[in-house]
């Protein structure tokens, strides 16, 4: 098999063509992203560390991947844009590696491409990836409208979320810089993790795009809530950035996410 180095804006959009290849994926390095990469059969994966954040959530997939003997690494959020696999391949600098990657010669400080080249020597993946499911949580009372939903990933949004408040564990970056990727449905208000903001302020780039759709949107500081974890955001997330639509609600940086959710419903 000719082992290729391939890129993707998000590991939620992998297909059969990624199986057996070395992937540089724009997603944050949380466990669910590692699971999706492993489930797709990638040989090895490089993700974005999303600023590390609370409890090191931004690179927590690396231990999960080690348990599968699958090489994994992250690039520094300050070196390349999260949500943009091509940029990570071009400018990314490695910030963390797991043991399986280190055994191949991958190391902190390498370029993403040098790390990916070393990963081509990884054995073909074998065995099924243990299931790691993201979830949805109702934070408002049953029957209240608009409802407040928490979703660990924006990929879990449903058509019926239109008009509701949705707090996602996803990063606040446009995928590949595309404004259409800001959010799938016209929710009333939404929140993301700022992923350390990162290169070119990409971690907050969804916010102005959502202003154009009149959707109130905020990010929470990655140091106050675990990326990929809606419950962590609800319990402790503090707003780091907000768009003009959210500011018009009387929300400010430093407010708790629950304050934003309640003001959005009024």
pLDDT per residue over 37-64, tens digit each? 999 999 999 999 999 999 999 999 999 9
Three-state SS string over 163-221 comes to CCEEEEEEECCCHHHCHHHCCCCCCCEEEEECCCCCHHHHHHCHHHHHHCCCCEEEEEC
CA distance linking residue 190 with residue 213, whole number of Å: 12
**197 and 107 within one domain:** no
Inside any domain, residue 126 = no
**35 and 92 within one domain:** yes
From 87, 119, 151, give the residue that closes a domain.
119
Q: Would the CA dihedral through 81, 86, 90, 96 be positive or negative?
A: positive
The tokens describing 12, both together, are 């939620």
From 119, 144, 175, give the residue that closes a domain.
119
**157 and 115 within one domain:** no
pLDDT tens, residue by residue, 110-130: 999 999 999 999 999 987 888
From 90, 119, 148, give the residue that closes a domain.
119
Domain span at residue 199?
136-265
Report the pLDDT value the prediction gives residue 51, as an integer from 0 to 100. 98
Inside any domain, residue 57 = yes
* Confidence tier at 230 by pLDDT (50, 70, 90): very high
CA distance linking residue 80 with residue 26, whole number of Å: 9
Inside any domain, residue 125 = no
pTM over the 0.85 mark: yes
Report the pLDDT value the prediction gives residue 128, as an integer from 0 to 100. 81
**23 and 144 within one domain:** no
Neighbours of 65 (CB within 10 A): 28
**48 and 82 within one domain:** yes
Inside any domain, residue 37 = yes
Determine what percent of the chain is predicted with pLDDT higher than 90: 94
Report the pLDDT value the prediction gives residue 1, as an integer from 0 to 100. 64
**206 and 90 within one domain:** no
Calculate the average pLDDT of the chain: 96
Determine what percent of the chain is predicted with pLDDT higher than 70: 100
**174 and 103 within one domain:** no
**247 and 146 within one domain:** yes
**159 and 110 within one domain:** no
CA distance linking residue 29 with residue 193, whole number of Å: 13
CA distance linking residue 140 with residue 192, whole number of Å: 18
pLDDT tens, residue by residue, 66-107: 999 999 999 999 999 999 999 999 999 999 999 999 999 999
The structural domain count of the chain equals 2
């Amino acid at each position: 098999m000719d082992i290729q180095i391939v890129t993707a804006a998000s590991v939620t959009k992998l297909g059969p063509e990624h199986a057996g290849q070395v992937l540089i994926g724009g997603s944050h390095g949380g466990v669910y992203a590692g699971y999706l990469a492993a489930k797709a059969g990638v040989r090895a994966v490089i993700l974005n560390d999303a600023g590390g954040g609370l409890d090191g959530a931004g690179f927590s997939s690396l231990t999960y991947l080690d348990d599968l003997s699958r090489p994994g690494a992250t690039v520094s959020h300050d070196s390349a844009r999260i949500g943009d696999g091509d940029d990570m391949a071009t400018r990314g600098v490695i910030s963390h590696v797991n043991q399986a990657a280190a055994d191949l010669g991958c190391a902190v400080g390498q370029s993403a491409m040098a790390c990916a080249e070393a990963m081509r020597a990884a054995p073909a993946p074998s065995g099924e990836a243990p299931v790691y499911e993201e979830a949805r949580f109702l934070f408002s009372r049953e029957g209240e409208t608009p409802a407040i939903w928490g979703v660990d990933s924006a990929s879990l949004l449903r058509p019926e979320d239109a008009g509701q408040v949705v707090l996602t564990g996803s990063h606040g970056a446009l995928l590949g810089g595309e404004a259409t990727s800001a959010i799938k449905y016209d929710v009333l208000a939404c929140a993301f993790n700022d992923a350390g903001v990162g290169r070119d302020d990409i971690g907050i780039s969804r916010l102005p795009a959502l202003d154009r759709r009149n959707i109130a949107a905020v990010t929470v500081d990655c140091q106050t809530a675990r990326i990929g974890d809606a419950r962590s955001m609800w319990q402790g997330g503090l707003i780091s950035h907000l768009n003009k639509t959210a500011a018009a609600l009387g929300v400010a940086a430093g407010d708790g996410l629950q304050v934003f959710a309640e003001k959005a419903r009024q």
